[in-house]
């Protein structure tokens, strides 16, 4: 089998998954990078949050005339995935952006296989403090000069995937995953399975997700607090910060919490604490929990349930 795939990286305008504002690709043909490219994307709701802009530097004025996802998918993105296989670093985030975008525009999700270079690296490399893109890129001497530029990040993920296959003596990503006892991720219309050790299949209602993303007037946005057997560790009423409340609302909207969302929340709370926007005793217990579950660079299902419960959400 030949090593053929397309690495993809999304940047988002705000906490909503259906808010792609840029996408980068790196097409790999027979183990070689054949094409790298990127484009700006106009989100369906033109709303940029400061923390997102601070990460990637993309602003509302830069995308106001850019094509939307529904225009780009058939004309630009899908033709760049001839293998039907995508790769991303922290793929749970990028695939959730895809699902959210398909739901926002009421488009069917095609059948796609996907692999996460963070998951593969975590199960192959040992004694790493973090398995973020910069750390893994450095381990494989992959140049990453402009992190969060989607084309740079996609290219880096592609080079890491190639290097991992070479180091494992695998002809393709499927063989590499077998050697590491990792299940490939899969996406299809109204369902997906994560790339990792688990085999759980997740299903979703596109109209429900669209409503929760604030893209439908027929259904309300998900409530901030879902019933929980335990009181949440993070008391939003005491903090009383609209931006944090909105951030948590976005996290809880799809009853899931992925690694990128947890690290994003961790970064926000640390910055808020440094800036004096919160009292330390209000967020210290939740930050301690975040530090504990994220220290190995991975978020498993039991850790996800703990964080969801701490936020007052509904654990899966």
- Asked if residue 217 is part of any domain, the answer here is no
Is there a single domain that holds both residue 183 and residue 299?
no
Give 62-91 pLDDT, tens digit per residue.
999 999 999 999 999 999 999 999 999 989
- How far is 252 from 212, CA to CA, in rounded Å? 9
Domain count within the chain: 2
Is there a single domain that holds both residue 128 and residue 257?
no
Is there a single domain that holds both residue 168 and residue 22?
yes
Parent domain of 80: 5-203
Give 220-248 pLDDT, tens digit per residue.
333 323 333 334 555 444 444 555 666 66
Question: What pTM was computed for the model?
Answer: 0.72
Is there a single domain that holds both residue 253 and residue 184?
no
Last residue of a domain, one of 144, 173, 203: 203
Q: Structure tokens of 266?
A: 């961790």
Taking residues 159-181, report their average pLDDT.
97
E strands along 92-168, which residues? 112-116
Is there a single domain that holds both residue 46 and residue 195?
yes
Q: What is the DSSP letter of 38?
A: E
Is there a single domain that holds both residue 170 and residue 77?
yes
- Asked if residue 147 is part of any domain, the answer here is yes
- How far is 314 from 103, CA to CA, in rounded Å? 22
Count of all residues that appear for the chain in the document:
316
Is there a single domain that holds both residue 12 and residue 130?
yes
Is there a single domain that holds both residue 263 and residue 151?
no
Is there a single domain that holds both residue 149 and residue 49?
yes
Give 103-125 pLDDT, tens digit per residue.
899 899 999 999 999 999 999 99
Is there a single domain that holds both residue 162 and residue 239?
no
E strands along 165-245, which residues? 185-188, 191-193, 201-203
Taking residues 133-153, report their average pLDDT.
95
Taking residues 177-186, report their average pLDDT.
94
Is there a single domain that holds both residue 71 and residue 144?
yes
Please state, in angstroms and as integers, the Cα–Cα distance from residue 301 to each residue in 184, 194, 306, 316, following that order: 17, 11, 9, 9
- Asked if residue 103 is part of any domain, the answer here is yes
Q: How far is CA 134 from the centre of its chain?
A: 16
- How far is 98 from 47, CA to CA, in rounded Å? 18
The answer to whether the CB of 266 falls within 8 A of the CB of 294 is yes
Q: What is the mean pLDDT of the chain?
A: 82
């Amino acid at each position: 089998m030949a090593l053929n795939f397309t690495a993809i990286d999304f940047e988002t305008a705000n906490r909503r998954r259906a808010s792609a504002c840029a996408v980068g690709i790196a097409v790999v043909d027979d183990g070689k990078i054949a094409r790298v490219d990127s484009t700006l994307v106009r989100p369906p709701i033109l709303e940029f949050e400061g923390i997102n802009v601070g990460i990637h530097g993309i602003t509302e004025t830069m995308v106001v005339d850019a094509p939307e996802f529904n225009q780009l998918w058939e004309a630009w993105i899908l033709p760049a995935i001839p293998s039907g296989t995508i790769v991303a670093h922290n793929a749970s985030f990028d695939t959730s952006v895809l699902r959210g975008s398909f739901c926002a525009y009421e488009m069917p999700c095609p059948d796609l296989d996907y692999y996460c270079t963070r998951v593969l690296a975590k199960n192959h490399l040992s004694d790493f403090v973090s398995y973020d893109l910069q750390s893994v890129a450095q381990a494989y001497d992959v140049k990453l000069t402009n992190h969060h530029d989607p084309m740079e990040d996609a290219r880096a993920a592609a080079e890491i995937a190639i290097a991992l296959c070479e180091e494992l003596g695998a002809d393709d990503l499927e063989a590499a995953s077998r050697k590491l006892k990792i299940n490939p991720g899969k996406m299809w219309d109204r369902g997906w399975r994560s790339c990792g050790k688990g085999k759980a299949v997740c299903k979703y209602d596109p109209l429900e997700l669209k409503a929760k993303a604030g893209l439908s007037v027929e259904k309300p946005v998900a409530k901030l607090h879902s019933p929980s057997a335990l009181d949440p560790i993070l008391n939003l009423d005491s903090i009383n910060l609209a931006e944090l409340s909105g951030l948590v609302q976005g996290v809880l909207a799809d009853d899931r919490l992925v690694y990128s969302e947890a690290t994003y929340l961790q970064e926000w709370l640390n910055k808020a604490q440094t800036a004096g926007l919160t009292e330390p005793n209000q967020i210290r217990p939740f930050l301690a929990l975040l530090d504990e579950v994220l220290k190995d660079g991975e978020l498993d299902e039991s850790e996800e349930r703990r964080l969801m419960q701490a936020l007052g959400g509904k654990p899966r």
